[in-house]
Amino acid sequence: MKQPRFPYPLQPLRVPGGWHITVNTLFEVEPGPDTMQWFSSALLLWGHCRDSGHAFNSHFEPEDDPHGEFVLEMSKVQYDRHGKALKGSEAFLGEFRTRSKAAFVERVEQYMRES
């Protein structure tokens, strides 16, 4: 029998229509001394909604520290009439930090619902 590529499933997320998740390396495992390799990616989640221009990216910092935090960075981009992002139009909307994976997932889902 073929062994799965990853030992953990991806973290379930409720993604509203219009949103695209481009990067997803957030696995259904809690950060700890034995699981930090699954949180050392430069990006855990990256998503955007072309309709509203809202976007987010996230990571875990400091890398390799089981006592670190999930970091969610939220932004908005303007698009031209052809759907191309306008250069220099990205606006930083804020940041959310937490040590709780459940709170992090809840905030990502909330941001997508409300944007």
* Alpha-carbon span 75 to 60, nearest angstrom: 18
Q: Indicate if the pLDDT at residue 5 is higher than 80.
A: no
pLDDT tens-place string over residues 98-110: 999 999 999 999 9
Residue appearing with tokens 């999930």:
70
**11 within domain boundaries:** no
Task: Give the residue, 1 or 73, on which the prediction is more confident.
Answer: 73
The per-residue pLDDT for 92 is: 97
pLDDT tens-place string over residues 29-79: 999 999 888 888 789 999 999 889 999 999 999 988 999 999 999 999 988
Q: Indicate if the pLDDT at residue 87 is higher than 60.
A: yes
**Total domains in the fold of the chain:** 1
Show Cβ contacts of residue 25 under 8 Å, excluding neighbours closer than 6 positions: 38, 41, 43, 44, 45
Q: Indicate if the pLDDT at residue 111 is higher than 70.
A: yes
**47 within domain boundaries:** yes
**13 within domain boundaries:** no
How far CA 48 is from CA of 19, 42, 86, 98, 112, in Å, comes to 6, 17, 15, 21, 9
What residue numbers bound the domain in which 36 lies? 20-114
**8 within domain boundaries:** no
**51 within domain boundaries:** yes
**2 within domain boundaries:** no
Encoding tokens for residue 8? 């953990």
* Alpha-carbon span 47 to 109, nearest angstrom: 11
**10 within domain boundaries:** no
**105 within domain boundaries:** yes
Distance of CA 25 to the CA centre of its chain: 9
The per-residue pLDDT for 4 is: 59
